[in-house]
Structure 1
Amino acid sequence: MKIIISGSLGNIGKPLTAQLVQSGHDVTVVSSNADRKSAIENLGAKAVIGSVSDADFLSETFKGADALFAMTPPNMGGVNIIQNTTDAGTAFAKAIQNANIKRVVMLSSIGADLPSGNGPIAGLYNIEKIYEKLNTSITFLRAGYFYINFFNDIPMIKGAGIMGANIPAGNRIPLVHPEDIAWAAAEELQKLPEGKNVRYIISDVRTPSEIAKTFGTAIGKPELPWVEFTDEQYLGGMTQAGVPEEMAGLYTEMGSGLRNETIAADFLKNDGKVQGKIKLEDFAKEFASKF
């Protein structure tokens, strides 16, 4: 199969590309960074450099492809983030239609069933709705909260001796490792189901208190506590740390959605299956190596 991978060689794209090349597929990786060209080619894939917001570039790149892994960048600028994400999805949709690609796997998220109250995930809701109108086989691969996001807590642990967010210690959070996403995406790209389908990819479901205890044990701080912040405290802490105001507001809203469990609700009620292999304790070793 000729398969297009968007998202460059990030935490998902690199293992996904390696898996598909090893399986004998003709893989092209789309990146906005020309410096990634040699790394992509070293994996045995073709590199194409350009913007995922450029429908004409994408249409040309997608010509003749059998399948596409569609991933919009996680940070579409410091302002107008939802609109920028949606615009990129619109460009993808136009290119998918122009190139007549028969199979698409879109990286989405828990909470993408919600039009609002989910922070940056609202952009993925918009893209899912755009893709639903396309005449092609699409799987919306809704991923959990990335384990690797907890790397952002390392300065807090070192500076204050705590972990925390605007989420209660006892709430259930569906978590995922990028390598499990890559495995699920590779599996889906090689299928051709009819119509539009949702697949959740979750590695583990744990509470913040369990997360703090597991990480604390791994770094030699077994009593590491999880502290629940108010929305105002969480927002203020991020802006003081240099996070752009709009982005900080969206992350605060996402934390609120995890707090009231609306973001996790569709997975917990209607699917609930943990398919990923990398559990919290496995990732804790990776966390400790970065600490």
Structure 2
Amino acid sequence: MQITVVPASPKTGAATVRSLLADPSATVKGYYRDLNKVPAEFKAHPRFEAVKGDVEDAATLDFAGSDAVLVITPPLYEEKDIVAHAHLVAENVKAAVKKAGSVKRLVYLSSVGAQYDRGTGEILSNHAAETVLHDAAPEVVFVRCAYFMENWAMNVETIKEAGFFFTTLTPLDYALPMIAVQDIGATCAAELLATGTPLPARPHIFELHGPRAYTSVDAQKGFEAAAGRSLEMRPIPKEGLGEFYGAVFPPQVAAAFVEMNASYLEGGILYEDPRPTAGEKKYGKTELAEVLKELYGA
């Protein structure tokens, strides 16, 4: 089975490729804008091919011979319209799938909250992509992931240098579903390898959570275990999110992150109306403490 991952450069793409290559039935093509970014472990693998291409340029996408395709909307950290960008990427991928004529299944790496067309900030890019890709192949799967455990990585440098970290997950005892990147990769790989297996609907949609929900206090305990010392936690209240993200990102990007963050806090759309479009949920196995230990040691 030939499987294409586009793009393969994000951590979730790499995790999926790694899981796919563990199955001897899979040959994998990974798309990269910069072939210098291809991991050495993939370059050396006989069943992996790195392809130069850009999801923003339809002419560079050729899925001929592919049985299944994993699609990821690349994150934007510059002043662009994230919804328009996601729509463009999805349309380019959809056109490449139809031109290839061989693709039986498309799996899209989406987000919890992608069913909403308002109030979710950065997640609106996933909503836009889903709208385009829902009928892109005979079999379509949307994997709506919970909050990435690896998002806590932004705190590692501050912890090592100053012994504290920020959290935007408040109140501190509020539990939020989270998922590890390695579990995302394993799940997406399993969905791709199941190409040809009947699905209950097109698209087939499910949410992907970790083994349980986690709080900021859980993150503190995990980091303390990794660091071997007590750490100060500095919560960012909801009203302070604008200043917090504004210190890191350009205004348009910061606004998208503020709205996304606020969407799962009290008063936000995902907090007040957390209904999935489809009731199915799947669960990863990796605990937050495992991820934080790895992040701290990196």
TM over 0.5: yes
Alignment of 1:231-246 (within 5 A): 231=239, 233-241=240-248, 243-246=249-252
Between the aligned partners of 2:115 and 2:182, the Cα distance in structure 1 is: 24
Inter-partner Cα distance in structure 2 for 1:268 and 1:5: 26
Cα distance in structure 1, aligned partners of 2:66 and 2:74: 21
The amino acid of 2:275's aligned partner reads D
Deviation, structure 1 residue 19: 2.7
Alignment of 1:45-194 (within 5 A): 45-58=48-61, 61-75=62-76, 77-100=78-101, 101-157=103-159, 158-159=161-162, 161-165=164-168, 167-191=170-194, 192=196, 193-194=198-199
Q: Which sits farther off after the overlay, 217-226 or 193-202?
A: 217-226
What is the aligned counterpart of 2:43 among 35, 41, 44? 41
**Does the alignment pair 1:270 with 2:279?**
yes
Distance 1:86 1:184, change over 3 A: same
Letter in 2 for 1:73: P
By how many angstroms is 1:34 displaced? 2.2
- Residue 57 to residue 162, structure 1, CA distance change in 2 (3 Å): closer
Q: Which structure features the higher share of helix residues?
A: 1
Q: Please report how far the alpha carbon of residue 155 of structure 1 lies from its aligned counterpart in structure 2 after TM superposition.
A: 4.7
The number of equivalent residue pairs is 285
Secondary structure at the residue paired with 1:266?
A: coil
d(CA) in 2 for partners of 1:210, 1:267: 25
Partner of 2:293 in structure 1?
285
Identify the residue that residue 215 of structure 2 maps to in structure 1.
207
Post-superposition shift, 1:274?
A: 5.3
How far the C-alpha of 1:281 sits from its partner, in A, is: 1.9
Aligned Cα RMSD in Å? 2.4
Question: 1:270 is aligned with what amino acid?
Answer: G
Matching of residue 2 in structure 1 with residue 2 in structure 2: yes
* Separation in structure 1 between the aligned mates of residue 83 and residue 90 of structure 2, nearest angstrom: 11
**Cα deviation, residue 178, structure 1:** 0.9
Match for residue 224 of structure 2? 216
Runs of 4+ in 1 over 4 A off after TM superposition: 155-160
What is the CA–CA distance in structure 2 between the aligned matches of 1:43 and 1:263, rounded to whole Å?
41
Q: In the alignment, what sits opposite 2:18?
A: 18
Contact 2:205 2:278 in 1 (8 A): no
8 A contact 1:216–1:224 mirrored in 2? no
Give, in angstroms, the shift of residue 160 of structure 1. 7.5
Q: 1:222 offset after TM fit, Å?
A: 3.8
Write the distance in 2 (CA, Å) between the matches of 1:269 and 1:167. 27
- 2:22 partner letter: Q
Structure 1, gaps ≥5 residues long: none
TM-score, scaled to structure 1: 0.88
Paired-residue identity, %: 22
Q: TM-score, normalised by structure 2?
A: 0.86
